Structure 1
Amino acid sequence: MNSQVQAAGLTLAELSTKAAEKIVEHNSWQNILLEQQSDGVYLLTVNRPKVLNALNAETLAELDQVLDMVARATDIRVLLITGASEKAFVAGADIAHMSKLTALEGKYFAEQGMAVFRKLENLPVPAIALVNGYALGGGCELAMSCDFILAAENARFGQPEVNLGVTPGFGGSQRLTRLVGRGMAMELLTTGRMMNAEEALQRGLANHVYPQGELLTEGNKLAEQIASKSRTAVQLTKQLVQRGQDLDLDNACVMESDVFGLSFSTADRHEGMSAFLEGRKPEFS
């Protein structure tokens, strides 16, 4: 059991039953906030506004802890992620921290970020990035590790590591290529230029763009819509998309058939189909 769980006095059993309420009540993170927005919807905020929410080793460690808890909490259905600033989502990794690292320490820092972002990517529930300003370097990598991105009109995306004489270290070269294509990724990665919200929308990096003052409201609306669906069906769908994207089409479709059959064993399948046939709103367990 990790130190944050011990500090909160939580057992593993508590982490699987209404755990999110206990996490929020007892959390003592210095750089992260976790708040309930509505039934099943929680907001995780990177809270270092004085440095535009830049990611250092301590912040990554706290992210790692909270993601473990989110993965176990049965009452979390959707996780929203944003930054505590009107200027930045996450402006990048903390350069003051990185400037002191040796080559080996730099490798370890990259491996820490990689592990945390893969954990985010593999959460059983959907994670939605609310990009409310600069999402550069590690911030862009954090946003791309979510299932999709909603952007404010003032959002700016980029992987400007070449300006510092280094490469992306938290998966930026790989996720950006998969999202916007090889040519555009190479342009962004080798020039270090920023992409505004409208271009991010056109390139398929962002799903929607909203005025900054409406971003959280619109994010909550979309999250609540997802949270109202069958939790099991949403989780299985996320697994299909993630695991199928790197398979050939034949094997991916076989996997989908298997999971479709598996979903017929759930109480939610019975409730969803019964509600449809009876002309009522389903009440998923």
Structure 2
Amino acid sequence: MPRTVNWELQGRVATLQLGNSLTNAVNQSFLHDFHHCLIEIEKQKQVKAIVVKSSQEKVFATTGLVKRGEEKEDSDKNQNLLYGVLKKLALMPYPTIAIVSGIAMGAGFELALACDLRIANESARFGFLNGTCPTAIGAAALIDLIGHSRAKEVMWFGQTIEASEACRLGIVNRILPTHQLMNEGLEMAFAAGAQHEKLFKAGKQLWQKVILEEQNSY
């Protein structure tokens, strides 16, 4: 069976491509494939940065649906799998950049939040669906970016954040035309990966400390 997440090397940058049908649903097979890709990338000593992108122009990734009658069991399993992938992505020892084109909702939003930087096009949308609860890592990352009060609004009321507002709040670093996203993402990855190792590690460790502290208190 073809993978729903694949990766390739572009110089010293590993590009992760999300390709789980038209919706990029974050389900069990998607999460297993994502995790395996991260493990494979870690073994490549030449990698200095990771770019995460979608194969779809209108969807980055969304929370996967489960079959009726399997909601509780599958939901719990998916949350555990998602938590493991988010934690591994957040703790990767080099810069991670999410290229968000279109919708990043629910678990898809959390995947973008777990990256160090995010760039998006004008059609990008972010948020959590009503009735869905983010993992402790997703919640902690959002709180770190926009503060407790605003983050609670987004999480509790299922608010959708448009690209311009996401940029104003600091969720997104830059907004660009769709055709420029990949080049910009790679340039950012090359630049970040070329930074002095000690300088990068200091910034990464500070972010990780915030994530883990918030995670324990959420």
- What TM-score do the two structures reach when normalised by structure 2? 0.88
SS at match of 1:245: helix
- In the other structure, the counterpart of 2:216 is none
Q: How many residues align?
A: 213
- In the other structure, the counterpart of 2:37 is 66
**Is this contact kept in 1: 2:140–2:211, CA < 8 A?**
no
Residue type of the alignment partner of 1:158: G
- In the other structure, the counterpart of 2:5 is 32
- In the other structure, the counterpart of 1:154 is 123
- In the other structure, the counterpart of 2:64 is 94
Q: Structure 2: how far apart are the matches of 1:99 and 1:219?
A: 39
Q: Structure 2: how far apart are the matches of 1:234 and 1:80?
A: 20
Query: Are positions 1:199 and 2:165 aligned together?
Result: yes
Go from structure 1 to structure 2 and tell me whether the alpha carbon gap of 1:34 and 1:47 turns closer, same or farther (over 3 Å shift). same
> Which of 18, 24, 30 lines up with 1:46 in the alignment?
18
> Which of 42, 53, 78 lines up with 2:49 in the alignment?
78
Q: Structure 2: how far apart are the matches of 1:179 and 1:218?
A: 22
| CA drift at 1:209 | 0.9
Query: Deviations for 1:187-206, whole angstroms, at most 9, x for unmatched residues?
Result: 21222121111111110111
Q: Structure 2: how far apart are the matches of 1:224 and 1:128?
A: 11
Q: Structure 2: how far apart are the matches of 1:166 and 1:85?
A: 23
SS at match of 1:242: helix
Q: Which has the higher contact order (CA 8 A, sep 6+)?
A: 2
Query: Deviations for 1:243-263, whole angstroms, at most 9, x for unmatched residues?
Result: 443799xxxxxxxxxxxxxxx
Q: Structure 1: how far apart are the matches of 2:83 and 2:67?
A: 15
Q: How does 1:205-284 map to 2 (within 5 A)?
A: 205-230=171-196, 232-233=197-198, 236-245=201-210
Q: Structure 2: how far apart are the matches of 1:98 and 1:195?
A: 28
| CA drift at 1:101 | 2.5
- In the other structure, the counterpart of 1:111 is 80
- In the other structure, the counterpart of 2:105 is 136
**Is this contact kept in 1: 2:5–2:16, CA < 8 A?**
yes
| CA drift at 1:100 | 4.4
Identity in percent: 26
**Is this contact kept in 2: 1:141–1:170, CA < 8 A?**
no
- In the other structure, the counterpart of 1:11 is none
**Is this contact kept in 1: 2:5–2:19, CA < 8 A?**
yes
Question: Which 4+ residue blocks in structure 1 deviate beyond 4 angstroms?
Answer: none
**Is this contact kept in 2: 1:82–1:130, CA < 8 A?**
yes
Q: Structure 1: how far apart are the matches of 2:9 and 2:143?
A: 34
- What TM-score do the two structures reach when normalised by structure 1? 0.68
Q: Where is the helix percentage greater, Structure 1 or Structure 2? A: 1
CA RMSD of aligned residues (A): 2.3
- In the other structure, the counterpart of 1:57 is 28
SS at match of 2:15: strand
Q: Gaps spanning 5+ residues in structure 2: where?
A: 214-218
Q: Gaps spanning 5+ residues in structure 1: where?
A: 1-27, 249-285
Q: Where is the strand percentage greater, Structure 1 or Structure 2? A: 2
SS at match of 2:26: coil
**Is this contact kept in 1: 2:6–2:37, CA < 8 A?**
no
Q: Structure 2: how far apart are the matches of 1:220 and 1:207?
A: 14
